[in-house]
């Protein structure tokens, strides 16, 4: 038997706030949506790994006032690839919902199909570069220098999963 699980995990207090279990074929993004009711808009910052990037998911989070920071694959979107190629480290970008996801506009009673995000490229201690996408655009609220440390906290969820598996 195999299943897919998802946790909304408080990375600083090492506490599971919500857990979901579903068929192994279930999407991580669909399980993440089930956590939405446990996220405090304007107070929480959801940190996600590179399996989660989706313009639709980011759109839904922004529409609900939920802040996020998501690790991006290097080739996920043209903006990320260009930033990596050009040595850029912090940039505001705009994404449009793909045609296949436009049904979500009805859920939020809007015609606005665009989101604004901030892409940040951080260099890790081993020299590798990570691309992060966040809904927090304000450099004073979340300065560039904080992202490397912030994303490092994500590792605590891996430890949380390990504890449950053992």
What mean pLDDT comes out for the span 62-90? 90
- 60 pLDDT band, cuts 50/70/90, is very high
* Distance of alpha carbon 8 from alpha carbon 18, whole angstroms: 5
Question: What's the whole-model pTM score?
Answer: 0.90
Amino acid 50: pLDDT: 80
What mean pLDDT comes out for the span 119-144? 93
Residue 161 has pLDDT above 90, yes or no: no
On whether the CB atoms of residues 119 and 93 are closer than 8 A, the answer is yes
Share of the chain above pLDDT 70, in %: 100
DSSP state of 30: H
On whether the CB atoms of residues 136 and 69 are closer than 8 A, the answer is yes
């Amino acid at each position: 038997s195999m299943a897919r699980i998802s946790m909304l995990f408080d990375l600083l207090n090492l506490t599971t706030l919500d857990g979901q279990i579903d068929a192994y074929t279930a999407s991580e993004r669909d399980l993440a949506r089930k956590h939405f009711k446990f996220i405090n808009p304007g107070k929480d910052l959801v940190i996600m790994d590179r399996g989660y990037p989706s313009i639709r998911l980011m759109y839904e989070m922004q529409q609900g006032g939920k802040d996020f920071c998501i690790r991006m694959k290097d080739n996920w979107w043209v903006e990320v690839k260009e930033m990596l190629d050009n040595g850029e480290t912090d940039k505001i970008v705009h994404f449009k919902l793909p045609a296949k996801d436009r049904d979500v506009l009805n859920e939020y009673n809007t015609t606005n199909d665009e989101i604004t995000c901030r892409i940040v490229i951080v260099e890790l201690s081993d020299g590798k570069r990570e691309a992060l996408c966040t809904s927090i655009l304000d450099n004073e609220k979340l300065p560039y220098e904080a992202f490397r440390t912030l994303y490092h906290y994500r590792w605590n969820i891996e430890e949380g999963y390990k504890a449950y598996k053992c």
